[in-house]
Structure 1
Amino acid sequence: MGVALRDILEDYRQDVDPGTLRGAIAVDAFNALYQFLTIIRQPDGTPLMDGEGRITSHLSGLFFRNINFLESGMRPVYVFDGAPPDLKAETVAKRREVRDAAGERWKEALVRGDTEEAYRQARQSARIDDAIIASSERLLDLMGIPWCVAPSEGEAQAAYMAMQGDVSAAASQDYDALLFGAPSLVRNLTVSGKRRFRGRTVVVRPERIELAAVLNGLSLDREQLVEIAILVGTDFNPGIRGVGAKTALKIVGKGEFEKVLEEKAPEFDPEPVRSFFLNPPVSTDYRLEWGEADREGIIGMLCDEYAFSTGRVEAALEKIGVRSGQRTLDAWF
């Protein structure tokens, strides 16, 4: 879910043409997979499945979206979450409860024949399991797209890679990447295009937020931005009741962060959360090498194993020059 900083970041969100997002970008893998699993569903909320009942929504999103990326000249690298920090235990438990409850309401709505409610509840019940992770990593390997597993939070690892200059940006829906120090955050990358939202069609465009512009515009340093997030609430702490981003900005701007915490949450120690954002566990052991897409391997996996349309998969591969007697993807960069 991330941290609710939208109200103070509104002026720093810049729409970007997807075709201009070239070069290497680190994508928060779990964030992207949740988007695919949430959006790619039947009208009653049922995810895409093969004949054996295995979910394939994530594979459809991962394959066709990456084809678009590669065709436009972007080189994605996917960063998967490692073990969640102890600080996140309460958030993880609450999210599990929400998904479980939504799953039950989905079943009840299906029994009633309430398709609209079923779809809404189904979206909230999306979950990532070991099979989804393994099949995603396998497909990325076949597509010649690198991936790595972070020691902890994927967003922190993506931010580190961007700070090192190994990628041009971190891609995620959440603003946490800015707190972890990503110089550039790209949102809506995996969900851009036309989408149905509350009964109407909307166009979702990628947007970029530059950390330096945010800090300069708000007269903050990164530690102060983290303090604002702590007051609002993060995945690692509940925040102060009734304090939104704008109020938190005023509090931090006046130098009253510690004072407000002492008054409103005297038993809470902000240091572990602050330290985690400013110095998160990251790895330097990653390789950014993009290879050739394995045409036969991809068709074997998606079409033979998961019953994807052979015609659609072959047509998609041809967009990036992969056909019988295929060309290397390097020709596109």
Structure 2
Amino acid sequence: MGVALRDLAADCRETVDLDALSGIAAIDAHNALYQFLSIIRQPDGTPLMSADGQITSHLTGLLFRTANLVEKGLRPVYVFDGTPPTFKQETIDQRREVRTRAGNAWKEALRVGDIAEAYKQASASARVDASIIGTAQELLTLLGIPWVQAPSEGEAQAAYMARKGSVRFAVSQDYDSLLFGSPVLVRNLTVSGRRKMRGRTITVSPERIVLDAFLDCLGITREGLVEIGILVGTDYHPGIKGVGGKTALKLVRGGEFESVIAERLPEFDPAPIKEFFLNPPVSDDYHLAWSPPDTAGVIEMLSGRFDFSPERVEGALEKFSVKARQKTLDQWF
């Protein structure tokens, strides 16, 4: 879910072409995998699967989207979540319940023949489990694409890598990356293109938000942005009911954050959450290196074990060619 800052970001973001983006991109892996699992499905909501019933939607998305990014001149690195903070457990439990209900609703929609509703509920039932993560990491390794294991939240690690200069920007659908301090956030990168939504086809384009410009646009500091997040709700606390982004911005600008919290949520201490956003657990234990794909290994995995068309796999692998990698150092950074 992330923090709800869409309204505040409306006038502080820019739409960019994928061709205009270059350099190293730290991608929130779990965020991307959920997107692939939610979107890449049959019309009735059934995920793509191998002949023996193994889900392959995430592998399809990972292969073809990564190939497209590399061909466009980007060097992706995927950052995986580690251990979540204890105060996220309630959100995790709620999400699990939502997915379970959606899964049951999907089955009911299939039973009565409501295909549109079935697809909607199936998308909401997507789960990223150990098998999904393991096969995703295996494929990335075979593709020669680095991945990083974060000690805690992947978005926090990606933001740290961007601040450190290891990557040019962080990639996620959630605005939390900005609260974690990423200098640049790019949204929609892993889902850009033509998409079906609510019965109609739309074009989804990447969006870029520069943190300093965003803060200037709102007239606040990063700490103030974190306070807005706490007021409207984050993955770590639901916030204050009825307080949206614009109201929260007004309260923070007026220096009323602490008094409003004391009045509306007297039992809640926001300090641990604020500290987590401003100084999250991160690691320097990573090495970013790209190599040519292990073509035979990728084909053996995807075609041999997961029943992918060898021709489609080979076509995707062509995008990882040396020609696609021939960028100057300045273009990468």
User: Which residue is 2:78 aligned to?
Assistant: 78
Aligned counterparts of 2:267 and 2:313: Cα–Cα separation in 1: 56
After superposition, residues 133-144 of structure 1 pair within 5 angstroms as 133-144=133-144
After superposition, residues 58-97 of structure 1 pair within 5 angstroms as 58-97=58-97
SS in structure 2 of the partner of residue 167 of structure 1: coil
SS in structure 2 of the partner of residue 78 of structure 1: strand
Give TM-score scaled by structure 1 length. Answer: 0.97
User: Which residue is 1:206 aligned to?
Assistant: 206
User: Which residue is 2:113 aligned to?
Assistant: 113
Aligned counterparts of 1:270 and 1:169: Cα–Cα separation in 2: 28
Aligned counterparts of 2:147 and 2:324: Cα–Cα separation in 1: 17
SS in structure 2 of the partner of residue 92 of structure 1: helix
Following TM superposition, by how much is the alpha carbon of 1:222 offset from its aligned partner in structure 2, in angstroms?
0.5
User: Which residue is 2:52 aligned to?
Assistant: 52
Output one character per residue of 1:42-82: Cα deviation in whole Å (capped at 9) or x when no partner: 00000000000000000000000011011111000000000
Aligned counterparts of 1:180 and 1:101: Cα–Cα separation in 2: 31
SS in structure 2 of the partner of residue 191 of structure 1: coil
Does 2:112 align with 1:146? no
Aligned counterparts of 1:331 and 1:268: Cα–Cα separation in 2: 53
Does 2:276 align with 1:276? yes
Output one character per residue of 1:118-147: Cα deviation in whole Å (capped at 9) or x when no partner: 101000000011111000000000010000
Output one character per residue of 1:78-118: Cα deviation in whole Å (capped at 9) or x when no partner: 00000111010000000000000100110111111111111
Give TM-score scaled by structure 2 length. Answer: 0.97
Aligned counterparts of 1:66 and 1:332: Cα–Cα separation in 2: 17
- Give the count of matched residue pairs: 328
Following TM superposition, by how much is the alpha carbon of 1:320 offset from its aligned partner in structure 2, in angstroms?
2.9
Aligned counterparts of 1:282 and 1:328: Cα–Cα separation in 2: 34
**Shift in alpha-carbon separation, 1:58–1:299, aligned structure 2, 3 A:** same
CA contact (8 A) 1:291 1:329 kept: no
User: Which residue is 2:266 aligned to?
Assistant: 266
Overall identity of the aligned pairs, in %: 62
SS in structure 2 of the partner of residue 155 of structure 1: helix
SS in structure 2 of the partner of residue 11 of structure 1: coil
CA contact (8 A) 2:151 2:282 kept: yes
Paired amino acid for 1:134: G
After superposition, residues 183-332 of structure 1 pair within 5 angstroms as 183-321=183-321, 327=322, 330-331=325-326
Q: Gaps (5+ residues) in structure 2? A: 329-333
Runs of 4+ off more than 4 Å: 327-330
User: Which residue is 2:163 aligned to?
Assistant: 163
After superposition, residues 34-49 of structure 1 pair within 5 angstroms as 34-49=34-49
Paired amino acid for 1:23: G
SS in structure 1 of the partner of residue 145 of structure 2: coil
What value does the CA root-mean-square deviation take over the aligned residues?
A: 1.1
Output one character per residue of 1:286-308: Cα deviation in whole Å (capped at 9) or x when no partner: 11101111111111111111110
Aligned counterparts of 1:109 and 1:276: Cα–Cα separation in 2: 41
Paired amino acid for 1:176: D
Following TM superposition, by how much is the alpha carbon of 1:26 offset from its aligned partner in structure 2, in angstroms?
0.1
CA contact (8 A) 2:70 2:325 kept: no
SS in structure 1 of the partner of residue 203 of structure 2: strand
Aligned counterparts of 1:16 and 1:115: Cα–Cα separation in 2: 34
User: Which residue is 1:24 aligned to?
Assistant: 24
SS in structure 2 of the partner of residue 55 of structure 1: coil
Following TM superposition, by how much is the alpha carbon of 1:317 offset from its aligned partner in structure 2, in angstroms?
1.5
CA contact (8 A) 1:76 1:145 kept: yes
User: Which residue is 1:103 aligned to?
Assistant: 103
Output one character per residue of 1:188-217: Cα deviation in whole Å (capped at 9) or x when no partner: 000000000111100000010000001111
CA contact (8 A) 1:67 1:316 kept: yes
User: Which residue is 1:324 aligned to?
Assistant: none
Paired amino acid for 2:95: R
User: Which residue is 1:4 aligned to?
Assistant: 4
Aligned counterparts of 1:329 and 1:154: Cα–Cα separation in 2: 27
Aligned counterparts of 1:328 and 1:154: Cα–Cα separation in 2: 31
Aligned counterparts of 2:102 and 2:32: Cα–Cα separation in 1: 20
